Amino acid sequence: MTILRIAVAFLLGSSASILLAQRAVPAKNPAAISTEPLVADVHAAPYRSSINYTVNAGHRRVDIRNATLVNLIDYAHGIEDDDGREDASIVGGPSWLDFDRFDVAAMVPSLQPAIPDSGQPNYGMYALGTNDTIRPVVERILEERFHLKYHTEDRPLPGYVVTVAKDGPKLAEAKDPTAPGGCQAVREKDNPGRVTTTCTSETIGQFLTLIGGTFRHPLLDRTGLTKPYDFTLRSDS
């Protein structure tokens, strides 16, 4: 598996270090690299009782609060899981790498405001691709403000490989393969410890993405199944 190998020479006075992050990183497209000046403010975050970090996107601006360097690296390269697994896939670096927290505010000229929710005026949905719009800016902040450098290399890392059983798949193809895929989980009334998950027009790839966060290591889809299926899964909590 391809991993992210990062050499860090922080402006904050630490020595150069090595990090290993679990995710293939695509080669940079020179045409996609912004030539606009980086307008960003980075400073140490004040004490907060919560250890979680937040990303808030507005019109032409992003605010990231309470983030460690591990959080910023994860977000910039799309490897964050929000479940702590990224801590095991990034090793090395100074002792404060996943301890000290920072607040980051940056201008993102192409960022669009959230789409208002007519039912709840104070809420909205981010436009499709919002994270992909923000990530290059966060990557520039890591490179220009923290002097982070990286390249990729291959190394075995823990994970779960999902394959088809020897006797083949026993899944019913979706009755309406053009319908949007989706799953709904319901706790059974007669047996509260059991959850029934019903999926319609769901591909295996979509389903593994849905349940992937419940596993200690990433799930790798090696089933070769690309069609949408209708199926029901019962599990004990």
Q: Report residue 59's pLDDT band, with 50, 70 and 90 as the boundaries.
A: confident
pLDDT of residue 121: 54
CA–CA gap between residue 203 and residue 189 (Å, rounded):
28
Asked if residue 29 has pLDDT above 90, the reply is: no
Asked if residue 21 has pLDDT above 50, the reply is: no
pLDDT of residue 102: 95
Instruction: Please answer whether residues 230 and 199 qualify as being in contact, where contact means their C-beta atoms are separated by less than 8 angstroms.
Output: yes
Q: Is the pTM of this model over 0.75?
A: no
What is the per-residue pLDDT across 214-226, written as a single tens digit (0 to 9) for each? 787 788 899 999 9
* Residue in this structure with the two tokens 């690299």, named with its chain if needed: 33
Which has the higher per-residue pLDDT, 151 or 181? 181
* Backbone dihedral angles phi then psi of residue 234, each to the nearest 5 degrees: -115, 130
Distances (CA, A) of 198 to 165, 175, 177, 191, 207: 21, 14, 15, 17, 11
Residue 58 Rama label (left phi>0; alpha psi -120 to 50; beta): beta
Instruction: Please answer whether residues 111 and 134 qualify as being in contact, where contact means their C-beta atoms are separated by less than 8 angstroms.
Output: yes
CA–CA gap between residue 70 and residue 95 (Å, rounded):
12
Average pLDDT, integer, range 58-87: 77
pLDDT of residue 63: 94
Q: Report residue 35's pLDDT band, with 50, 70 and 90 as the boundaries.
A: low
Q: Report residue 10's pLDDT band, with 50, 70 and 90 as the boundaries.
A: very low
Give the largest Cα separation in the chain, rounded. 61
* Residue in this structure with the two tokens 């996107």, named with its chain if needed: 57
pLDDT of residue 31: 40
Share of the chain above pLDDT 90, in %: 30
Q: Where do runs of H (alpha helix) occur along the chain?
A: 69-76, 86-89, 130-145, 204-211
Q: Please, what is the average pLDDT of the chain?
A: 77
Asked if residue 210 has pLDDT above 50, the reply is: yes
